[in-house]
Amino acid sequence: LREHEEFTKVKNIATIELGRYEIETWYFSPFPPEYNDSLKLYFCEFCLNFMKCKEQLQRHMRKCDLKHPPGDEIYRSGTLSMFEVDGKKNKVYGQNLCYLAKLFLDHKTLYYDVDLFLFYILCECDDRGCHMVGYFSKEKHSEESYNLACILTLPPYQRKGYGKFLIAFSYELSKKEGKVGTPERPLSDLGLLSYRGYWTRVLLDILKKHKGNISIKELSDMTAIKAEDILNTLQSLELIQYRKGQHVICADPKVLDRHLKAAGRGGLEVDVSKLIWTPYK
């Protein structure tokens, strides 16, 4: 699959149909060769099987009995749900999701050994079912303390706060594991913007409330954000001074307020009391 990708980096599929949306694609994705002569692919929005024509999809929809992603619902708040899908138990779903995601992810080399990953699928639910909004993937075991491998909000849902919700969710899982985490590199431009936004808001909120000195280590313990990401974020906000060989946080209230005003919207909140989850063993 990797070889195939390397040699044919021309964008193949131009649009996809998914649920009630027709979506223009952004990048090449290495679909199996028999799909490469079609400009448009039709996805079942629940099992993510893809087809070359509408009639095939309609036939599929009559017999597909899924109304939500396969796997466990681990979070529900209002109409928002999160499902955890184990790539080993749902291989085809995991692979379909990777093909779909690659259409919007440029520089990521997706590996299709989905066995090693868990997929967290964010859905908006109504009486017709749970409709995928976006997702992130996470290695079951990461030596580099990655808590997120790939993140995607489907284009019709972008810029509404779902990305920050997914990022916040990934850190909530890390907190439950008692570990710090960081996203896999490289980040895309949009990925970096979203992470910078998330880190900035979380750190500023704490610094604003906290009285007295606080260290980067303490911030990291509270947020599950890796110390390096905290240092970089605070440095870019010019809240770090280097004194006697040490990084010191200088949180002048006026400066904090100025940054908070510029930090934009907070995104959708994760209500931790509605997360029912135990770490993967």
**Which residues are near Zn ion by CB under 5 A?**
44, 46-47, 64
The two beta strands, 15-18 and 40-43, are parallel
CB closer to ligand ACO, 193 vs 248: 193
Counting DSSP H helices and E strands in the chain, the numbers are: 8, 13
Instruction: Please report, as a single letter, which amino acid is at residue 55.
Output: E
Total residues contacting ligand ACO by CB under 6 A comes to 26
| Binding partner of residue 104 among Zn ion, ligand ACO, none, CB cut-off 5 to 8 Å per kind | ligand ACO
DSSP, collapsed to helix, strand or coil, labels residue 39 as coil
Task: State which of residues 161, 177, 215, 227 lies at the interface with ligand ACO (CB under 6 A).
Answer: 161
Would you say 212 and 182 are in contact if contact means Cβ atoms under 8 Å apart?
no
Phi, psi for residue 45 in degrees, rounded to 5: -70, -10
Task: State which of residues 31, 184, 202, 239 lies at the interface with ligand ACO (CB under 6 A).
Answer: 184
Is 184 annotated as catalytic? yes
- Determine, following the binding rule CB under 6 A, whether residue 181 of this chain makes contact with ligand ACO: no
Per residue, what are the HEC states of 112-136? CCHHHEEEEEEEEEECCEEEEEEEE
Count CA within 13 A, CB hemisphere, residue 49.
15
- Sign of the CA dihedral running 279, 114, 159, 196: positive
Minimum CB separation of residue 265 from ligand ACO in Å reads: 4
- Determine, following the binding rule CB under 6 A, whether residue 45 of this chain makes contact with ligand ACO: no
**27's tokens:** 């990048």
Task: State which of residues 40, 52, 60, 160 lies at the interface with ligand ACO (CB under 6 A).
Answer: 160
Question: CA–CA distance from 44 to each of 34, 47, 52, 73, 278 (Å)?
Answer: 18, 6, 12, 19, 30
CB closer to ligand ACO, 27 vs 277: 27
| Binding partner of residue 89 among ligand ACO, Zn ion, none, CB cut-off 5 to 8 Å per kind | none
- Determine, following the binding rule CB under 6 A, whether residue 274 of this chain makes contact with ligand ACO: no
Active-site residue, selected from the candidate residues 6, 139, 184, 238: 184
Instruction: Please report, as a single letter, which amino acid is at residue 278.
Output: T
Strand partners, 131: 124
Minimum CB separation of residue 246 from ligand ACO in Å reads: 31
Instruction: Please report, as a single letter, which amino acid is at residue 232.
Output: N
Residue 16, Cβ neighbours under 10 Å: how many? 20
Would you say 129 and 68 are in contact if contact means Cβ atoms under 8 Å apart?
yes
Task: State which of residues 248, 264, 272, 279 lies at the interface with ligand ACO (CB under 6 A).
Answer: 264
- Determine, following the binding rule CB under 6 A, whether residue 191 of this chain makes contact with ligand ACO: yes
Residues in 120-159 at the binding interface with ligand ACO, rule: CB under 6 A: 148, 150-153, 158-159
Residues in 104-123 at the binding interface with ligand ACO, rule: CB under 6 A: 104-105
Binding site for ligand ACO (CB under 6 A): 104-105, 148, 150-153, 158-164, 183-184, 187-188, 190-191, 193-194, 197, 264-265, 267
The set of catalytic residues is 184
